[in-house]
Amino acid sequence: MCLKRANEILINPVAAIKQAKKEKKMNTTLCMLIFEWFLIALGTFLLLKKLVVATTFFFLGIVGSLFLGFLVQLVFTILGGKGRYFEGLTSVVYSLLPMSAAVILSSIFVHLPVIGVLLSFVVAVLFVLTGLAVMYRAVKELFSTDMITTLVGMGILGGGIVLAFYFAFFEFIAVNPTVFAPLIT
């Protein structure tokens, strides 16, 4: 079921999103999440040849995706969308599939002589843009919001994550000023 759904997302993401909305199967979403982070970890391993880094990506990616699903649910229910954690996590997971395919394909193509980097770039652009479009569409469909609310919510979500990252980074520097001292002097 998991691989069938992955195929549906890559071939016809709109139909896959509508099917997920109708079925509401958390097991399928979680299976897809594990599969995607396995692909990303495998692509990372093929690129860097470091199993520890790939394994770390796998576990932190799963935890991060689960948290991002909560953030999506939080933002869009506040903005008036009708949905729960399933809708938030499914939006994240379905958008991550094309991006995970980009990681593994790009990590293979980059090793090709001469045109490898160009092929890697083309694959990455196509799949990342597809993933972002799937995220937008999944949020719009699963939370039953209009296009403007979805756009505003995506902006709030992205901006909030960036701001929180900067706050955490500068707080880290304030608490540990000697960490970056060699870079400053």
- Of 93, 98, 71, 87, nearest to 154 by C-alpha is 71
pTM comes to 0.89
The number of angstroms, rounded, from the C-alpha of 1 to the middle of its chain's C-alpha atoms is 21
What string of pLDDT tens digits covers the 185 residues of the chain?
Answer: 788 888 899 999 999 999 999 999 999 999 999 999 999 999 999 999 999 999 999 999 999 999 999 999 999 999 998 999 999 999 999 999 999 999 999 999 999 988 999 999 999 999 999 999 999 999 999 999 999 999 999 999 999 999 999 999 888 888 887 877 776 65
In the chain, % helix, strand, coil (3-state, to 5) comes to: 85, 0, 15
Smallest Cα–Cα separation from 38: which of 92, 98, 104?
104
- Can you read off the two tokens belonging to residue 16? 């896959």
3-class SS of residue 6: helix
How wide is the angle at C-alpha 165 spanned by C-alphas 173 and 75, nearest 5°? 150
Within 8 A by CB and 6+ apart from 87, the residues are 21, 72, 73, 76, 81, 142, 143
Give the chain's count of helices (H) and strands (E).
Answer: 8, 0
- Whether residue 139 contacts residue 83, with contact meaning beta carbons closer than 8 Å, is answered with no
Quick one: pLDDT at residue 177?
Answer: 79
Residue with tokens 């520890």: 52
